[in-house]
Amino acid sequence: MAVNSDERMDKMMQMMQAMMTQVDSLVEKQDSLVEKQDSLQKQVESIQKDINTFVTPLYRVHPVPEDVVSQLTDKTFHETAKKYYGGANSCVILGQLFSPKKSRNYASRWFPAVAEHIVPKAQWTVAENWGFHTTDAKNALLLLKDVELKYQAGRLTLIPAEVQPGRDELILVVEISEALKDTVIKYVDRQCSKFAPVKGKEKGRGELKELKFRDLHGQQISVRPPPHMRALFLKAEMAHRQHQELTNPSRIVDRYTQRCPSMTGDLIQRLLASNSVGPA
Chain mean pLDDT for the chain: 84
How many Å apart are CA 222 and CA 171, to the nearest integer? 5
Q: What is the mean pLDDT of residues 258-277?
A: 70
Lowest mean per-residue pLDDT among 40-54, 106-120, 155-169, 237-251: 40-54
What does the domain layout of the chain look like in residue ranges?
64-274
What are the start-end ranges of the H helices in the chain?
Answer: 2-54, 77-84, 94-97, 106-110, 124-129, 145-152, 229-242, 253-257, 266-274
Query: Tell me, what's the pLDDT at 85?
Result: 95
Contacts of 124 (CB under 8 A, 6+ apart): 133, 134
Calculate ∠ Cα 260-262-265, nearest 5°: 135
pLDDT of residue 18: 77
pLDDT tens track for 216-237: 999 999 999 999 999 999 999 9
pLDDT tens-digit series, residues 85-126: 999 999 999 999 998 776 668 888 999 999 999 999 999 999
Q: What is the mean pLDDT of residues 133-141?
A: 96
At residue 20, the pLDDT reads: 77
pTM over 0.85: no
Dihedral (CA of 84, 85, 86, 88) sign: negative
Per-residue pLDDT reduced to its tens digit, 160-192 = 998 776 667 899 999 999 999 999 999 998 666
SS (H, E, C) 208-275: CEECEHHHHCCCEEEECCCCCHHHHHHHHHHHHHHCCCCCCHHHCHHHHHCCCHHHHCHHHHHHHHHC
Smallest Cα–Cα separation from 187: which of 97, 99, 113?
113
Q: Of 110, 109, 129, nearest to 119 (Cα)? A: 129
Pairing of strands 156-160, 194-197: unpaired
- State which amino acid sits at residue 89: N
Q: How confident is the model at residue 280 (pLDDT cuts 50, 70, 90)?
A: very low
Q: Does the pLDDT at position 2 exceed 80?
A: no
Which pLDDT score, from 0 to 100, does residue 158 have? 98
Task: Give the model's pLDDT for residue 30.
Answer: 77
Q: What is the pLDDT at residue 267?
A: 63
Q: Summarize pLDDT for 8-34 with one digit per residue, the tens.
A: 777 777 777 777 787 777 777 777 777
Q: Which residue has the higher pLDDT, 90 or 271?
A: 90
